[in-house]
Amino acid sequence: YFSIRFRIGSGDDGHYGPSSSDPPIGESGALTEDKSIFQVSGFIENNSGIKQNFCVYAKNVVLATGTYDSPLRLGIQGEDLPFVYHQISALEEAVKTKKVHHDSDPVLIVGAGLTAADAILLAHHYNIPVIHAFRRRVNDPALIFNQLPQVMYPEYHKVYQMMKEQSVLKGGPYEGYVSLPEHHAVHFSDNKKCIFRDKYGQCKAFNVSMILILIGSNPNLSFLPKNGMHLTLDTEKPVSSKRNPLEIDPFTYECLQEKGLYAVGPLAGDYFVRFVQGGALAVASSVQKSQKKPP
């Protein structure tokens, strides 16, 4: 657990984040006189449950926490069963421990975003059968695959090609993969049977080995005042990497509402791992220039 307090000594309201038990400030000397100083405080808990407090002061803070803290849910019956997961790491662990393999019942992957595509690519690499369900049409312009240059993202366009050509009705050339476009999950049962409803209202049942619901997630910025909402493009709405990221300078990645505070990755609207290095480089360059130090 940790929290961040902005502009120590600037006459703010003393809000430290989600907890009112954080230690008060007032004995930090010259640090509290610098209005650009941030305080990062909290505790670290070891395996024995012992908590050790810490407090760090910094002129610059980089937010790079990603957006995997609060996965979005379908809200259907059976979503809390032990074989239902909301993170791709569950599939990685199942592959590693051989809980799923090429002879298993299919892995059900729900979602039509890049994380779902990553899960499909992972399963395909290990010849693990996949049932892929999503609510949109395959030619929906809002699908992220329709917005990516094929030359730059050939692996994702391969998944998109599979989504279009390998439906449960038509079959296709891709062994071990079945696409269920325009299907809504109805419920999951404890015998690992999944019920879906198609666009015509007809229900279909599938036996699976595990379920991955990868339909997006929201960041947990409870360590920031107001959960970071005052840093976003629309300060009346929660932080969302897709719909309401933090408002930053596109060249430095510095938050426009808080000088000295930076954001990289999904918090800044960068969805792709390959873009993260560019954001980190921009931050490093900006911090270096602010300190007026030569490279």
pTM of the model: 0.73
The confidence score (pLDDT) of residue 274 equals 61
- Are 165 and 149 in contact, with CB atoms under 8 Å apart? no
Q: Measured between alpha carbons, how far is 181 from 69 in angstroms, rounded to an integer?
A: 27
- Residues with Cβ within 8 Å of residue 131, at least 6 apart in sequence: 106, 107, 108, 109, 178, 180, 194, 206, 208
CB atoms within 10 A of CB 230: 15
**CA-derived radius of gyration, the chain:** 23
How many CB atoms are located within 10 Å of the residue 95 CB? 17
Residue 9 in this model has a pLDDT that exceeds 50? no
pLDDT reported for residue 149: 83
Rounded Cα gap, residues 155 and 208, in angstroms = 25
Chain mean pLDDT for the chain: 83
Whole-angstrom Cα distance, residue 206 to residue 106? Answer: 9
DSSP conformation letters of 129-166: -EEEE-SS-TT-TTSGGGGS-TTT-HHHHHHHHHHHH-
Please answer whether residues 232 and 218 qualify as being in contact, where contact means their C-beta atoms are separated by less than 8 angstroms. Answer: no
Residue whose C-alpha is closest to residue 107's, from 84, 138, 76, 82: 84
pLDDT at 14: 38
Rounded CA-CA distance 227/204 in Å is 41
Give the span between the Cα atoms of 190 and 171, in whole angstroms.
Answer: 28
Under the banding of pLDDT at 50, 70 and 90, the label for residue 19 is very low
Residue 265, token pair as written in the block: 């990755």
Count of other CB atoms within 10 angstroms of residue 89:
11
**57 closest CA partner among 78, 81, 30, 94:** 30
Q: Is the pLDDT of residue 1 over 70?
A: no
**CA-based nearest residue to 224, from 213, 215, 235, 214:** 235
The pLDDT tens digits for 215-270 are: 988 888 888 888 889 999 999 998 887 788 999 999 999 999 999 999 998 888 87
The secondary structure element, H or E, covering residue 286 is helix 273-290
Structure confidence by residue, pLDDT tens digits, 49-93: 888 888 888 899 999 887 666 888 999 999 999 999 999 999 999
Domains of the chain listed by start with CATH number: 2-67+218-290 (no CATH), 73-215 (3.50.50.60)
Q: 264 and 283 in contact (C-beta within 8 Å)? A: yes
The β-bridge relationship of strands 217-218 and 70-71 is antiparallel
Compute the distance between CA of residue 277 and CA of residue 50 in angstroms, rounded to an integer.
36
Q: Is the model more confident about 237 or about 165?
A: 237
